[in-house]
Structure 1
Amino acid sequence: MAAIDIGSNAARLLITEVVQEPNGSTRFNKLNLVRVPLRLGFDVFETLTISEKKVDHIVSTLKAYRLLMDVYGVEHFMACATSAMRDASNSNAIIEKVKAETGITISVISGDQEASFIYENHIAENLDKDHSYLYIDVGGGSTELTFFNDNQLIFKESFNIGTIRLLKKQVPDTRWDEMKEFVKNKTKGFKEITCIGSGGNINKVFSLSKKKDGKPLPFELLKDYHKELSSFSVEERMKLYNLREDRADVIVPALSIYVSVMRWSDSKEIYVPKIGLADGLIHILHEKVKGRRAKQ
């Protein structure tokens, strides 16, 4: 199975082997994860359209992904696009072009769907029941928040605050205020909140921290990283932390979002299970295929 996630900063292809265990459980083995920094948000959040050059890059990337899926013998796949394609005035034309040239159908999903799909990884279900859990997924164009208490969904919400929008100064103070009020009001009165972070930037910070997998990052450490990384230029970050340019420029605005949401929800730590939208899509696809087989 494969999932393609076309985000505002990068497009990812995740190829996964789904194994049914004798005890009835399902194991998902990641076979390959490919990331291409298309950076669609840099066009869209300024001009509301995706340039011809970027359209060519999308088509070339998806042609390459199609070939990779063929080599791996992928039978089932899903392709979804998020914030940049939601905002682009020419997204329908791009979807038609991609379909004609690659055979891949792209679905542009809403922020609400994006929040739901990320939760499909069910990470919180494996954690203790003494806390409430707030998923924070930070992308180039939007941030998705999903909140659980006693395994019950309390809310899921999408905000047009993302790393590329922040770099492009496209996020007014009123939008920050709206998210702040929402988080403070909607998380009040619940059990102590633990956060679960997804997105390439929090994954990179987790790697830099040298923490063991499964261990959370304390809020204070995240604040320290934000302060430290903010003190360097993009070029210095690339050199000092061995970051690609397309990570070095967005990591600071990403941390500002994680730190803000954690502060507003009074959360002391964040788990980083290294999952994202593509992982959620694999779970959804698996359920769909299982459902089709059951009907046959």
Structure 2
Amino acid sequence: MKRDTFGAIDIGSNAIRLLINYVERYEDGLLEYKKAAFVRVPIRLGDDVFLRGGVSGAKAEALCDAMQGFAALLRAFSVRAWRACATSAMREAANGAEVVELIRNCSGISVEIIDGETEADMIYAAGGLKERLDPSKTYLYVDVGGGSTEIVVYAEGRKVEARSFRLGTVRIFSGAESPEEWTRFEEWLREVAARWHPSGIIGSGGNINKLHKMLEKKSRECIRAKELTALYNRLRAMSVQQRMEQLYLNQSRAEVIVPALRIFTEVMYLCRIDTVSVPRMGLADGIIHELYRQYGEE
């Protein structure tokens, strides 16, 4: 058995995450990805960016503090390779390049700002879903983040369409989304439904993972539309404080879980889809898998 250690940093609109994985390869070719460390810091960059257009000094300072800690952990675990990627909030921040330079100067970590389609492709590949899906059917891969939602259409075993929308949980909670973007979202989904007739959704993101757990689903079991709709109606009738107290959610999750439910239920309704499967993979997992393909197979 051979073991490599890889690290991934996901700088999202709601939280930043560090994942360190051991990747073990056995003589028979079997691969195992084992979590060595995971740290999540809810900095909420989207609060600044979606309302004011840039990252504030206070958020930038908190981001640097966290990244310095992440850099120390990467060194402590002696990772073979690592990669840091930033998504929607940093894509839209007027001072995004300045913040990237600040992070590099304070921590030594170089951050890449990636587009929505790249983000979705990396998460999808991490789940190993291509080998498990029925090539005769069409699926929607839906990744709901803090600042944006990425949707990829897979038909005949390949990607045929992809679109990114400025509809994310932090953006919606902050009231920073536009009615025009909702219209664009709905019109495109109706076109996709008419053209491709998707039969299922593959859900990605911290909120759908949390919902999967709240509904006490077994690994890889699907969530049905009626279950999500019932949970959406229940949670949106509660205040943030009630969600925290009654459902034991932290404040950040209690604020953004209802916007996430809104997006998923809209996709299911507009495309007439009854199930969401949840592989419980995120961007950090996708980065780890890509790093292994680049370095671990050498």
Band the TM-score falls in, shorter-chain normalisation = over 0.9
Q: Report the equivalent of 1:6.
A: 11
Q: Report the equivalent of 1:34.
A: 39
Q: Report the equivalent of 2:168.
A: 162
8 Å contact 2:136–2:155 — kept in the other structure? no
8 Å contact 1:14–1:30 — kept in the other structure? yes
Runs of 4+ aligned residues of structure 1 deviating over 6 Å after TM superposition are none
1:213 is matched with which residue: 211, 219, 230?
Answer: 219
Matches within 5 A, 1:86-125: 86-121=91-126, 122-125=128-131
CA distance in 1 between counterparts of 2:16 and 2:90 reads: 12
Q: Does 1:175 align with 2:171?
A: no
* Amino acid in the other structure paired with 1:113: T
Q: Does 1:21 align with 2:9?
A: no
Q: Once the two structures are superposed, what CA deviation does each residue of 1:225-252 show, in whole Å capped at 9, x if it has no partner?
A: 1000001000000001000000000000
CA distance in 1 between counterparts of 2:296 and 2:216 reads: 38
Greater shift, 165-174 or 71-80, is seen at: 165-174
CA distance in 2 between counterparts of 1:127 and 1:162 reads: 27
Q: Once the two structures are superposed, what CA deviation does each residue of 1:18-71 show, in whole Å capped at 9, x if it has no partner?
A: 122222243222222211001000000011111111111111101111111122
CA 1:211–1:52 in 2, change beyond 3 Å: closer, same or farther? same
Q: Does 1:186 align with 2:192?
A: yes
Taking only the aligned residue pairs, the percentage that are identical comes to: 37
The count of aligned residue pairs is: 292
CA distance in 2 between counterparts of 1:73 and 1:126 reads: 34
8 Å contact 2:53–2:92 — kept in the other structure? yes
Q: Once the two structures are superposed, what CA deviation does each residue of 1:164-211 show, in whole Å capped at 9, x if it has no partner?
A: 111122222221111111122123343651111111111111111011
CA distance in 1 between counterparts of 2:296 and 2:100 reads: 27
Q: Report the equivalent of 1:245.
A: 251
* Amino acid in the other structure paired with 2:270: W
CA 1:29–1:154 in 2, change beyond 3 Å: closer, same or farther? same
SS at match of 1:66: helix
CA distance in 1 between counterparts of 2:249 and 2:206 reads: 12
CA distance in 2 between counterparts of 1:146 and 1:117 reads: 12
1:199 is matched with which residue: 205, 215, 221?
Answer: 205
8 Å contact 2:198–2:271 — kept in the other structure? no
Cα deviation for residue 290 of structure 1 reads: 4.6
8 Å contact 2:21–2:36 — kept in the other structure? yes
SS at match of 2:269: helix
Gaps of 5+ in 1: none
* Amino acid in the other structure paired with 1:94: V
CA distance in 1 between counterparts of 2:11 and 2:92 reads: 13
1:71 is matched with which residue: 69, 76, 82?
Answer: 76
* Amino acid in the other structure paired with 2:113: V
8 Å contact 2:143–2:204 — kept in the other structure? yes
CA distance in 2 between counterparts of 1:135 and 1:129 reads: 14
1:58 is matched with which residue: 58, 63, 66?
Answer: 63
Q: Report the equivalent of 2:3.
A: none
CA distance in 1 between counterparts of 2:265 and 2:119 reads: 21
SS at match of 2:221: coil
Cα deviation for residue 4 of structure 1 reads: 0.3
Q: Report the equivalent of 1:236.
A: 242
Q: Once the two structures are superposed, what CA deviation does each residue of 1:240-294 show, in whole Å capped at 9, x if it has no partner?
A: 1000000000000110001101112211100111111111111111222257x3x
Q: Report the equivalent of 1:287.
A: 293
8 Å contact 1:149–1:191 — kept in the other structure? no
Gaps of 5+ in 2: 1-5
SS at match of 1:186: helix
Q: Does 1:141 align with 2:166?
A: no
CA distance in 1 between counterparts of 2:35 and 2:144 reads: 22
Q: Once the two structures are superposed, what CA deviation does each residue of 1:83-113 show, in whole Å capped at 9, x if it has no partner?
A: 1101111111111111112110000011121
TM-score (norm 1): 0.94
